[in-house]
Structure 1
Amino acid sequence: MRHTIFVRISWLLLALIVIGCTAPPPPQPATPLSISTVPPIGPTPTVLVSPTPTMLASPTPTVSVSLMTDGVVTPAAPPVDAYQLISQDSLFDYMTDLTAIQPYSGWRNSATEGETEALDYVADQLKQFEYLNKLGLTIERQDFHVFLATELWETRLDVQIAGQEVEIPADGLRGHRDMISRTLYFDSDGTLNDSNRDPVVVKGPIVVVRTVDDIYALAPDEVQGKVVFIDYAAIDTSQVEERAYDHAAALLAQEPAGLVAITHFSNAPRESHGAFIGDGQPFGWLDVDRLPPILYVRLEDMTAAGIKTWEDLAQIQSARLTWDADVFSPGNSGNLIARIPGVDSAQAVILGGHIDSPNSPGAMDDGSGSVVLLEVARVLNQAHLQPPTDLYLVWFGSEELMLYGSAHFAATHQDLLDRTTAMLQVDMLSRPLDGINPYLNLITWSYGQHGDATLPWPDYLTQKSARFGVTTRPIDNYAMESDNSSLAGFDVPNANLIYIDEPAMLSVGGVHYASHIHDPYDTVELARESGDTLQQMAQVALVAALETGRDDPELRVAPRPDRRALFIASHTEPVHVGPVGFIDMAMTLAWAGFDVDLIPYGQPLTRLDLANADLVVTLPVMDYPSPNGGDVTLYDEAWSPAEIDALEDYVANGGFLVLTNSAHRLRLFNRAFDDNEDWSDVNALAARFGVTFYERTIRTVRGTQVRVSGDHPLTQAVKYLELAAENGVPFTATLGLTLAQAPGGVTVAAVIDRGQGQVLVLADVGMLDTANGDPINLPFWRNLAAYARQ
């Protein structure tokens, strides 16, 4: 809804005549606009004036007048000159600052001090924008948990050459994202949640290993007590694929005192350049008793020690590794959300980028998106432009651990999502390998599986950006793309802006390998080679910020909602269990006319939350403290008596409740990890409906499927239901109709009448998620949506 004003049309016509007839004044120095000249957010026409002749391309101040139709404001088109203010120098200045954070100590690694420092840097930059701050810019900082985080305190490599000791820049590895036992290999003292500084130091003569054959030719007496310098190409998963794990295990079996993985730059396809080394590959995926200290270095960084080639390594007499790292479960991460008030605050546009890097400099992934957001803010500040609608700039944390920041943002900003016109993620720039010619993609997840594969948001941005000579390609992809995907389940038009040629890159080893991301060469120097493209990405982002609200295009494909579906995650800490991860299912509800809402983790359910809810889904009780190597005494989750009473009354008064459970902590696409020790906590709620869950592994048929057995509208034309692997928690019910059973007569799904309402009980919340590929349960979800509408 736009603001209305009561001013005569004749006033506007007079203003336009005066503007058209007045001769332009000669160029004069001008002072920045004061607070009194901020375009008002009220019942007066909006006038935007260029601050100085030197700031914009035209020497004449630009005047834009908002026109009215039937008393409704139409925000004025932004001066074209605003787009010319985008500066590569400014973009790369920001990028240089971001990549200088915690160098060779994890950089902006997810859920670390480096990530926090980067968010502090962004906040400091935003505070310098005087015009935006006078306009009412606000900054929100969010803190949230991730399941696992690795903090690299000290990673140092000293070598002795000709009797002199020289330090070579070196970084450590981060561990597995989801398995505590494997991640603890990358903790220097092996103790979870211990932040004490306790460096491990190893020193000894070196052994140089260049090839796979060299690994298997080693004898234990050649390696034990020594530091192995290995060419990363021999264990690079992007080059030798699955064999990399065998090669790494064979090397570790010789019991070296320490390892230094060396990589070097190459832009040739099918040559190693350190892809995924900072992520801990391949060592973080091995089943071993322990790992020695492992660091990685770039051959180019060894020049200070006089080492320019592999042959020069023979000069090294000995090496000393210093390694101090700690692993945390849960870890702590954060988001930064900047709101720039628009002329119309009833609507909003969201621009996003992720601030964290995958234990690399992260200039392109996703320093590029982070600096584009800063540049949009800088241009608005310099041009003294107020966006037509509220503009939210969001720097997400821990995207590299699997979209944690955007998932938390979506869960905690439900009202904002309901008034959001569209969201654009900028992730990411690339420097492609030789022979690959990338292009700017606008990738989204369409409603094609429901009969409408149109891409109105990417199409709109493509059309609007073309006026600046920027070419983008709308792409439909049923996959988690970046942080934009966290909003898809809430029916927010979204897209990710990324500079790749995916088909060509997949043919030579994948997007990450072929883009120089997740490798040590994701640097400002490499990003500068794609500088023109980075500038174009900023132009597309500015188009999203300024044009979308003015045009107010119809971007939502699903019908206008007339029903409400509420997912309750009050006691469900894993952020992917819910609409963020259940995209297919949530989009099915949206297509059926449901507004999909979520009560976020940590927010108690109230009776008011249940008002006007046509469908309520209670997600499993689940927290991050894990029984598989974690510390379950940190905190625990459970339904409160007041919440249970509210849900019982909701059903009794005619509500439709879906009751779910889970034997494991699930991640995207039904990937099951550590045991869920809280599986039985749902019984306090389930008992109100005559249901009891009990501990047992459900056997399935046809892989992870169970056979439908009940005749009910929910199972019409459904023969099988798919579960997550070994994740179902069987139950008994005193009353009700069994809908699906596993072998042995174990109940997996049942519907129960209670009072005026009903309860659908599912042994596995994974039935609402979908594994990679076609959503097998789509007919079931459609039935569920249709049934809940009745």
Structure 2
Amino acid sequence: MQNSELTQNLRALCLPGGRLSGTDNAFIAERYVLDKAREYGLRNGHLEAFAMPCWRATYTRVVRLADQEIPCEGALALCNTMSTPPGGISAPVLDVGDGNQEDFDLLNGELKGRFALVRDGGRNRRSEKMDRALEHGAAGLVVISVADRAPVIGTAHHTPRPEPAVIISHEDGQTIAQALAAGETVQLNIQISSESWDGEPHNAIAEIPGHGPHRDEMILVCAHLDSWHLAEGAIDNGNGSAVILECARALRAVDWRPRRTVRFIWFMAEEQDLRGSRAYVAAHQDELDRIVAMINIDMPGSPRALWTSGSPQFVERLQQFRRGMAGYVLNEEIGRLSGTWSDHAPFVEAGVCGVTLGGELGPGGRSYHTANDKFECVDQRATIESAAVLAVLVRQLADDLSLKPGRCLPDEPPASALTPASATQSARLAGRH
């Protein structure tokens, strides 16, 4: 395993550290996958730039102000929080429960000038909770991490703003919430040092060209290349990026000549509001009607399940594929793909058929979005299995002319649809964003 191409590529992507969009590490990774794709024989390799506000935190300190300061260990600044003034920002705290709309509706001006304390997870994303807190005049947002997990970084503000947004440990959050419930006044001081700049990350793109009358039709095979800056971004999503690179290598190694063009895309800025995939969809509107399927690989692990937003006929085609892969333990049910938790979302919203392959990550799955997301967390054998399953799927979809390109409006997902929460339970072991 240590000498496999996939392992070497994953190690190379992890070595610089986190691949935060717009940073030098991200540019190194963009060039690496593009050079490797060309080495493996892919054609039309290029980088597509897009503009976005970039951000990186360098220091975060949260303390509870009392007779003696009580630090909240392990606190993390959430994306797009600007640096606080010297000495930080101090404010009293108000508990707003889960941070859902009904929780904020109960307020009567009490939040103005206070930090909103909310629980992580639930029906709403952190950015939605942040937006509501700002509407009520909050001084900032303090998110309580879920139990039994280190604080998990993610996005709060859509663009850089001065109101601090942080996540603290479950234990510290519970202590603060209990003090508030007992009628105590809790005051926090938040200090953050961060950098914000206008950047131009790149989506990396390369192809296996199609041959014959259907060569203008496409299968897209995608993964996000970016990660947070806390560690190496191995689980999220170095392994997914390495999987689609290995898929490309394997298909070219057998000199396959697909009927349709297979385009591989490594997106940047998935972690920051899906900006890379949204930029791609906006720039390639004239090609969307020629896409048969967009396959998105995000934290794959050992292959266990398929989901799609496609038609009943496409679902049946995936069932046929699943039955032919009897050597792998793929779930019998094909899940319904929905939600905005990864780069499939802009395509599905535009009516393109989305597909994703999910898997069991093992104990390492708990490391994503934390300082523990390192190369050693990846189950390499399981990841190679995902690359093998993906290669077979890509080959079948690219050569099956019974499948037609074209767009359809995304339908209303059934109760069993894949959402960030259900993806957590079945394949990723932890929530997204």
TM-score by structure 2 length?
Answer: 0.62
The question of 1:327 aligning with 2:232 is answered no
What SS is found at the alignment partner of 2:20? coil
Alpha-carbon distance, 1:481 to partner: 4.3
Q: Which residue of 2 aligns with 1:538?
A: 387
Aligned residue pairs total 328
Tell me, in whole angstroms, the C-alpha distance in 1 between the residues paired with 2:3 and 2:229: 25
The question of 1:550 aligning with 2:399 is answered yes
Identify if the C-alpha distance between structure 1 residues 457 and 405 changes in structure 2 by more than 3 Å, giving closer, same or farther: farther
CA deviation string 1:390-431 (max 9, x = no partner): 11000011011121111111222233322222121111235x
Tell me, in whole angstroms, the C-alpha distance in 2 between the residues paired with 1:155 and 1:96: 27
Match of 2:304, as an amino acid?
L
Q: Which residue of 2 aligns with 1:494?
A: 354
What SS is found at the alignment partner of 1:388? coil
Within-5 A mapping of 1:569-648: none
Tell me, in whole angstroms, the C-alpha distance in 1 between the residues paired with 2:163 and 2:347: 41
Alpha-carbon distance, 1:556 to partner: 6.3
CA deviation string 1:320-379 (max 9, x = no partner): xxx974113x44322011122122313221100000113342112111111012112222
The question of 1:398 aligning with 2:269 is answered yes
Within-5 A mapping of 1:157-306: 175-177=78-80, 183-185=81-83, 237=120, 270-272=147-149, 274-276=150-152, 278-279=153-154
From 322, 342, 357, give the equivalent of 1:462.
322
Q: Which residue of 1 aligns with 2:211?
A: 343
From 511, 521, 534, give the equivalent of 2:372.
521
Instruction: Say if 1:352 and 1:425, in contact at 8 Å, map to a contact too.
Output: yes
Alpha-carbon distance, 1:126 to partner: 2.2
Within-5 A mapping of 1:78-117: 89-101=4-16, 103=17, 107-117=18-28
Identify if the C-alpha distance between structure 1 residues 96 and 385 changes in structure 2 by more than 3 Å, giving closer, same or farther: same
The question of 1:141 aligning with 2:74 is answered no
Identify if the C-alpha distance between structure 1 residues 237 and 392 changes in structure 2 by more than 3 Å, giving closer, same or farther: same
Q: Which residue of 1 aligns with 2:330?
A: 471
Instruction: Say if 1:112 and 1:332, in contact at 8 Å, map to a contact too.
Output: no
From 19, 26, 36, give the equivalent of 1:125.
36
Q: Which residue of 2 aligns with 1:315?
A: none
Instruction: Say if 1:457 and 1:494, in contact at 8 Å, map to a contact too.
Output: no
Alpha-carbon distance, 1:237 to partner: 4.8
Identify if the C-alpha distance between structure 1 residues 461 and 109 changes in structure 2 by more than 3 Å, giving closer, same or farther: farther
What SS is found at the alignment partner of 1:366? helix
Tell me, in whole angstroms, the C-alpha distance in 2 between the residues paired with 1:382 and 1:339: 14
What SS is found at the alignment partner of 1:346? coil
Match of 1:184, as an amino acid?
M
Identify if the C-alpha distance between structure 1 residues 556 and 470 changes in structure 2 by more than 3 Å, giving closer, same or farther: farther
Within-5 A mapping of 1:336-375: 336-344=204-212, 345-360=215-230, 361-375=232-246
Match of 1:493, as an amino acid?
C
Tell me, in whole angstroms, the C-alpha distance in 2 between the residues paired with 1:341 and 1:404: 27
Identify if the C-alpha distance between structure 1 residues 458 and 116 changes in structure 2 by more than 3 Å, giving closer, same or farther: farther
Tell me, in whole angstroms, the C-alpha distance in 1 between the residues paired with 2:32 and 2:259: 27
What SS is found at the alignment partner of 1:371? helix
What SS is found at the alignment partner of 1:407? helix
Instruction: Say if 2:305 and 2:358, in contact at 8 Å, map to a contact too.
Output: yes
Match of 2:342, as an amino acid?
S
Alpha-carbon distance, 1:383 to partner: 2.8
The question of 1:442 aligning with 2:311 is answered no
Instruction: Say if 2:303 and 2:357, in contact at 8 Å, map to a contact too.
Output: no
Tell me, in whole angstroms, the C-alpha distance in 1 between the residues paired with 2:406 and 2:162: 50
Alpha-carbon distance, 1:491 to partner: 3.0
What SS is found at the alignment partner of 2:195? strand
CA deviation string 1:460-509 (max 9, x = no partner): 54244x155352552014422421222123332221222259xxx9xxxx
Within-5 A mapping of 1:639-658: none
Tell me, in whole angstroms, the C-alpha distance in 1 between the residues paired with 2:237 and 2:148: 24
CA deviation string 1:29-64 (max 9, x = no partner): xxxxxxxxxxxxxxxxxxxxxxxxxxxxxxxxxxxx
Instruction: Say if 2:289 and 2:406, in contact at 8 Å, map to a contact too.
Output: no
Give RMSD over aligned pairs.
Answer: 4.6
What SS is found at the alignment partner of 2:305? strand
Identify if the C-alpha distance between structure 1 residues 395 and 288 changes in structure 2 by more than 3 Å, giving closer, same or farther: closer
Tell me, in whole angstroms, the C-alpha distance in 2 between the residues paired with 1:334 and 1:109: 12
Alpha-carbon distance, 1:144 to partner: 1.1
What SS is found at the alignment partner of 1:150? strand
Which of structures 1 and 2 has the larger relative contact order (alpha carbons within 8 angstroms, sep 6+)?
2
Alpha-carbon distance, 1:94 to partner: 1.1
Instruction: Say if 2:303 and 2:328, in contact at 8 Å, map to a contact too.
Output: no
Tell me, in whole angstroms, the C-alpha distance in 2 between the residues paired with 1:143 and 1:366: 20
Instruction: Say if 2:55 and 2:195, in contact at 8 Å, map to a contact too.
Output: yes
Q: Which residue of 2 aligns with 1:731?
A: none
Identify if the C-alpha distance between structure 1 residues 548 and 532 changes in structure 2 by more than 3 Å, giving closer, same or farther: same
Tell me, in whole angstroms, the C-alpha distance in 1 between the residues paired with 2:335 and 2:405: 17
Match of 1:523, as an amino acid?
K
Tell me, in whole angstroms, the C-alpha distance in 2 between the residues paired with 1:236 and 1:519: 18
Identify if the C-alpha distance between structure 1 residues 457 and 398 changes in structure 2 by more than 3 Å, giving closer, same or farther: farther
Alpha-carbon distance, 1:185 to partner: 2.7
What SS is found at the alignment partner of 2:200? strand
Q: Which residue of 2 aligns with 1:423?
A: 294
Give the number of the structure whose alpha-carbon radius of gyration is greater. Answer: 1
Match of 1:138, as an amino acid?
N
Identify if the C-alpha distance between structure 1 residues 175 and 387 changes in structure 2 by more than 3 Å, giving closer, same or farther: same
Q: Which residue of 2 aligns with 1:385?
A: 256
Identify if the C-alpha distance between structure 1 residues 443 and 385 changes in structure 2 by more than 3 Å, giving closer, same or farther: same
TM-score by structure 1 length?
Answer: 0.36
Instruction: Say if 2:224 and 2:237, in contact at 8 Å, map to a contact too.
Output: yes
Alpha-carbon distance, 1:122 to partner: 0.9
Tell me, in whole angstroms, the C-alpha distance in 2 between the residues paired with 1:369 and 1:545: 15
Instruction: Say if 1:119 and 1:336, in contact at 8 Å, map to a contact too.
Output: yes
- Structure 2 unmatched runs, 5+: 61-73, 89-117, 130-144, 170-191, 414-433
Match of 1:479, as an amino acid?
G
Alpha-carbon distance, 1:290 to partner: 7.0
Alpha-carbon distance, 1:88 to partner: 7.8
Tell me, in whole angstroms, the C-alpha distance in 2 between the residues paired with 1:376 and 1:493: 20
Aligned-residue identity in percent:
21
Instruction: Say if 2:235 and 2:365, in contact at 8 Å, map to a contact too.
Output: no
Match of 1:382, as an amino acid?
A
Tell me, in whole angstroms, the C-alpha distance in 2 between the residues paired with 1:155 and 1:237: 22
Identify if the C-alpha distance between structure 1 residues 155 and 446 changes in structure 2 by more than 3 Å, giving closer, same or farther: same
Match of 1:388, as an amino acid?
R
Tell me, in whole angstroms, the C-alpha distance in 1 between the residues paired with 2:10 and 2:59: 23
Tell me, in whole angstroms, the C-alpha distance in 2 between the residues paired with 1:348 and 1:396: 17
Identify if the C-alpha distance between structure 1 residues 420 and 288 changes in structure 2 by more than 3 Å, giving closer, same or farther: closer
